Structure 1
């Protein structure tokens, strides 16, 4: 039972890491109706910026405090992601208003390759580390219930709490603020939103800025856990099944989808892997996403699209 709980907790925490990236996909889709392939590159750039500025700022400003370095690096990186959002809106999205969704999708692919190249040019291509002071030593819980206890990584627990807090804030933002409702209106119909006075350009800047902040949080968590390297941008591919499962328009769905996939990957690899030779963890999420695309394409919490003719 103790081993099962360890596997379950490991799956839940992995799922929360996937969900952090999935949140960025959901935010952009809710505001523009387009799937943002650049989310993984945004996570990479944010993580690189956080890692490098936390290293550079103490040297430039002459202090040694790790906490101050991380706070300043977070502020600088958040500002950088907001400036990036403004640049994307001014140089790309503004010229594609009311274009086909396929055109917007191709634009996000172009943004992906640009961000990958820009990140390497500005910050280098080595492997960097992010040290935000999160505890690394594992905890042994319930040792009086199970022999040896249950091994838990406190860093994963902190990441799960951060993701849960983000979900709560974003859900409140979309549901109870005027800007959040405007974002939903823009996603439903760009032209109709403009006709009632919703400034499309400003809305896109806001949502890309929020997605950039979410990418920064995800980059810090992933970078602290695994290191910052250019393969980090491929982590977004692991989040694709998450948003398919939870629904492209649902913020809570991103979390639920992440938890289901994280737990499913771990349990299937541990208990079914030895029977069929392993490797289930690699393809489990995509097979599950394919099943949902066949039988419930809107996901668990997504809005079902009804076309009237």
Structure 2
């Protein structure tokens, strides 16, 4: 029983990180109707900015405080994501208002390749470390309940907590604030939103900036765990089954979908992996997503599309 709970908790913590990446897709799709293929590149670019600025800031200002360097680097990386959001709206989105979905999709693919190349040009292409002080030593908990206790990674626990707080804050933002309601109106109909005075360009800058913040937090967490390398872009692919399960238009769905995928991957790796020869955690999520596409293509919390003729 203790081993099962240990695997379950590991899956839940991984699932929160998947939810964090999936949120970037959901936020942008809700506000602009665009499936943002550049979310993975945004995670990488934000992580590169954080890693390199944390190295450069002590050299620029001549101090040795790692905490202060990380704080300044975080705000500089945040400024980079704000500038990126403004440029995307100014140079891409405002010229594609009410265009076909495939046109917007191709635009995000172009943004992906631009970010990959620009990130290498500005920040370099080596593997960089992000050290924000998260403890990496595992600890044993509930030793009085389970024989030997439960082994928990402190870093995973802190990362899951940070992701949960950010997810909760974004959920409240979309549901309870005027800006969040305006973003939902923009997603429903661009022209109707403009006709009632909602500034379309400003809304897009806001939502791409918020998605950039989620990408930055995800990049810091994953970069702290595995280092900042170009394989970070594949994290977005791991989040695709999450939004298929939860629904592309649902913030709560991204949370629930991430938890389901995280727990499913961990438990299948532990209990089914030895039976099938390993590697099940790589394809389990996609098989589960395929099943959902066959029987409930809108996901658990997605809006069912009804065509009237």
TM-score bracket, shorter-length normalisation: over 0.9
Aligned to 1:53: 53
Q: Tell me the SS of whatever aligns to 2:37.
A: coil
2-structure distance, mates of 1:218, 1:179: 24
The C-alpha deviation readout for 1:170-198, integer Å capped at 9, x for no partner, is: 11111121111111011111121112221
Correspondence for 2:37: 37
Q: Compare 100-109 and 156-165 and name the one that shifted more.
A: 156-165
Per-residue deviation at 1:8? 0.9
Secondary structure of the residue aligned to 2:22 is helix
Q: Which residue of 1 aligns with 2:11?
A: 11
User: Residue 133 of structure 1 aligns to a residue in which SS?
Assistant: coil
Query: How far is 1:147 from its partner?
Result: 2.1
Superposed displacement of residue 11, structure 1: 0.9
Shift, 1:86, TM fit: 0.4
How far apart, in 1, do the equivalents of 2:181 and 2:122 lie?
A: 37
Range moving further from structure 2, 145-154 or 218-227: 145-154
Q: Which residue of 2 aligns with 1:133?
A: 133
Secondary structure of the residue that 2:193 maps to in structure 1?
A: helix
Hey, what's the Cα distance between the residues in 2 that align with 1:73 and 1:235?
23
The reply to whether residue 231 of structure 1 matches residue 231 of structure 2 is yes
Alpha-carbon shift at residue 169 of structure 1 (Å): 1.1
* Mapping 1:183-198, distance limit 5 Å: 183-198=183-198
Structure 2: segments with no counterpart, 5+ residues = none
Q: Name the CA distance, whole Å, in 1 between partners of 2:68 and 2:85.
A: 26
The secondary structure found in structure 2 opposite 1:249 is coil
The residue aligned with 1:222 is 222
Unaligned runs of 5+ in 1: none
**How do residues 102-141 of structure 1 correspond to structure 2 at under 5 angstroms?**
102-141=102-141
Q: SS in structure 1 opposite 2:281? A: helix
1:55-111 CA-partner distances (Å, limit 9, x unpaired): 100111001111101100000000110000001111111110110111001100110
User: Aligned-pair distance for 1:145?
Assistant: 2.0
Residue 101 in structure 1 maps to residue 101 in structure 2? yes
Partner of 2:299: 299
Deviation beyond 2 Å, 4+ runs, structure 1: none
Aligned length: 309
Structure 1 CA distance for aligned equivalents of residues 272 and 30 of structure 2: 37
What is the distance in 1 between the residues matched to 2:306 and 2:191? 19
TM-score normalised by length of structure 2:
0.98
**Cα distance in 1 between the residues matched to 2:42 and 2:72:** 19
Give the aligned partner of residue 205 of structure 2: 205
Distance in 2 (CA, whole Å) between partners of 1:170 and 1:37 is 21
| Secondary structure of 2:303's aligned partner | coil
Corresponding position: 1:82 with 2:82: yes
- Paired with 1:177 and 1:144, the residues of 2 have a C-alpha distance of 45
Structure 2 equivalent of residue 143 of structure 1:
143
CA RMSD of aligned residues (A): 0.9
Offset at 1:3?
1.5
Structure 2 distance, partners of 1:299, 1:134, is 34
* CA displacement 1:236-295 (0-9 Å, x = unmatched): 000000011111111121111111001101111111121122221111000111111111
What is aligned with 1:152? 152
Distance, in Å, in 2 between the alignment partners of 1:272 and 1:41 is: 32
Q: CA separation in 2, counterparts of 1:276 and 1:128?
A: 35
The Cα shift of 1:122 comes to 0.5
Which residue does 1:272 correspond to in 2?
A: 272
